[in-house]
Structure 1
C-alpha cells in the first residue's frame, strides 16, 4: 500500500504559504489497486498511467503494491510514501503527519485553510481471506477512524474488496443507485461500517462511463 503525494501551492505563493484545502480549491483525488509494483517496469507504467488520468495528482492512494518497506521515495518528481509492516510518522511540505498503520492501512493528515484533511488509505482482505481476518481489519480500521480529529474532513479510499450491489432499498443513507452486481457479505460489512461512521460510498453516486 502506498499513498503518493504531489503538493499544491497557492498561485504566486511558496511552500511557506502552501494550502491544500480552501473554499476556492478543487481537490481531485484518485485511488488505484496496482496489482503489484514489485515487478520490473511496473513503477514506470504506473507513473505514466497516473499522468494519463489527469487527476491533478495532488493525491493518489495506491493499494496492493507488494512493496514491503516503509518510508519515502521520490521517483520522477513524484513523492511516494510507503506503508509496510512497521509503524512510524513522516512530515513533508503540506503533510501534518503520515502514519503507516499496517500493510493494509495508512493515513495522512494535510493542512487546510478551513479545516485539515485526514485520508485513510486501505486494502481490505479479499474473499479468499477468512471472515476472522476481515473482522480484524475492520476492528483496526475502526480504531484508526476513531482517532481522526473530529474537526477534520475525512476521506476513506482504497480497495475494500466488497460488492455493494445496486439495490438502494434501506441503504439510501450510505450509497447511491449506481453500484454493480449483487450485494455480497463483504459488501454488507462495508455498508455497516459506513452506517456506523456516517460515511457515504461516493462511487455509487455516479454512473461509471
Structure 2
C-alpha cells in the first residue's frame, strides 16, 4: 500500500507498508561483546524469523550502533546498544533489528545500562519499544525503586497513541492471574508471584499493559524462560508487554528452548518471542527535490541524541542546520544574518559566516565554502557527560 502527500513546490513522499506482522523477541544473552556471539545471535534471529530482538546483559560499555552481517545469508542486521559508561561490563541493553525494520526506525534513545528505547514508523500507529533489564531479587530496594521510577518516567514520555511494547528480563515471577489482575495477566503465568513480580504487576496496571506470554496456553517448556546452571530450578521471568488496547493484535507469545546465544557463558535464559499484527512503513522521498533536504537519517538520530543529552544536563545549546549552497542562492544575505541573530546565534558566529561569504564568489561553490565547513566544529556543542548528573 502506498500513500502520497504532495504540495506545490514540495517533493512527493512515499510511505510503503512493508509488513503486516512483525515478530518481536527478548533475550538475556549473558554477553554480546564478542563478534562471534553477535553473529550467532543474528543467525538465531533468522532461524526463528525474529524482526527485532530486545537483548539484555550485553556487557558492552557506552552506547552506539554497529552493523552485523549474518554469516550464511550475508543479510545485514543493526545492533543498537546502551551500557554503563565504565568498563565494568555490568548490565547493558539494546536492540538487534533486520534491515527491513531498520528502515522504519524513527528514533533511538540509549537511556541507561538497564533501559533503551526505539520508535518505528508504523501504520496506523507508530511503534515504541522499550528494552529492559530489571534488578535481581537480591538487589537493594533503592536499586529496584530507581529502576521502576526510571521505567515509569520513560513509559510516560511515549505518545499515548503509539503501539507500546516493553520487553526484557524483569527478574520477576508474576504467577497466574487473579480477580485483580485479569486485565493484565493470563491464566498461564508460571510459579508464585514474588516481590519483584508484584512490582512488575503494579507497573503493568498503572500503564494498562498486558503480559503477553502469560495469556497463551503452551506446554511448560514454552512458558518457562530461565533455568539454573544445573537445570534443577526453572522460572518464567522474561516477558513481553503491550498496551491492553492492542491485546487482540498479539497472535502468540512463548519461549523457545532450542535457541542458543552462542555465548561463551552458555545460555540460561530462553528466547521469548511474540507474533504481532501491525504494519511498519518506510518513508522515502523521490529523487527530485526542491529547497532544503534534511539529510541522512543517521545524522538526525545523532543530533536528537545530542539535544536529549543537553536537556538532561540542563546545558545551553544552539543548533543550526543550513544548506549553504541553496541558502546563499535563495535568501538575501542581510535577511539571513538578521534571522540568525534573532534566533539567538552569537554575534561572533554570524560575523564569522559573513567573513567567509565575503571571501567567496557571488555564487559560492563547494570548494570556496570548504573553509566554512571545516570551521563548523567551532560552533558544534557537545554534551559534557558526568558520572552522576544532577536530578
TM class by shorter chain equals: 0.7 to 0.9
1:41 partnered with 2:39: no
In the TM superposition, residue 54 of structure 1 has moved relative to its aligned partner by 2.0
Q: Per the alignment, do residues 118 and 167 of structure 1 end up closer, same or farther by CA in structure 2, a change over 3 Å counting?
A: closer
Runs of 4+ in 1 over 6 A off after TM superposition: none
**Matched position secondary structure for 1:161:** coil
Native 8 Å contact 2:63 2:82 kept in 1 = yes
Whether the aligned pair in 2 keeps the contact of 1:20 and 1:111 (CA below 8 Å) is no
Is it true that 1:117 corresponds to 2:127 in the alignment?
yes
1:84 partnered with 2:83: yes
Shift of residue 50, structure 1, vs aligned partner: 1.8
Maintained 8 Å contact 1:20/1:112: no
The answer (yes or no) to whether the contact 1:117–1:153 under 8 Å persists in 2 is: yes
What SS does structure 2 have at the residue aligned with 1:200?
strand
Does residue 17 of the first structure (1) align with residue 15 of the second (2)? yes
Counterparts in 2 of 1:107-146, with a 5 A limit? 107-146=117-156
Deviates more, 1:165-174 or 1:100-109: 165-174
1:64 to 50, 57, 67: 57
Shift of 1:111: 0.6
1:19 positional shift: 3.9
**What is the match of residue 201 of structure 1?**
211
SS state at 2:22 partner:
coil
Match of 1:165 in 2: 175
Q: Is residue 152 from structure 1 mapped to residue 151 from structure 2 by the alignment?
A: no
What is the TM-score of this pair, normalised by structure 1?
0.82
Following TM superposition, by how much is the alpha carbon of 1:48 offset from its aligned partner in structure 2, in angstroms?
2.0
Higher helix share: 2
State how 1:45-56 maps to structure 2 within 5 Å: 45-55=40-50
TM-score by length of 2: 0.45
Q: CA deviation at 1:182?
A: 1.1
1:185-200 alignment, distance < 5 Å: 185-200=195-210
Larger radius of gyration: 2
Question: For structure 2, which runs of at least 5 residues remain unmatched after alignment?
Answer: 3-12, 70-75, 86-101, 223-391
- Please state whether the residue corresponding to 1:27 is helix, strand or coil: strand
Q: CA RMSD in A?
A: 2.1
CA contact (8 A) 2:23 2:49 kept: no
Describe the shift of the 1:19–1:129 C-alpha distance in structure 2 as closer, same or farther (beyond 3 A): farther
What is the aligned length? 187
Instruction: Give the gaps of 5 or more residues in structure 1.
Output: 1-9, 87-91
Instruction: Kindly provide the CA deviation profile for residues 23-65 of structure 1, in whole angstroms up to 9, marking residues without a partner as x.
Output: xx1121111111112356322222222222223x2x1111111
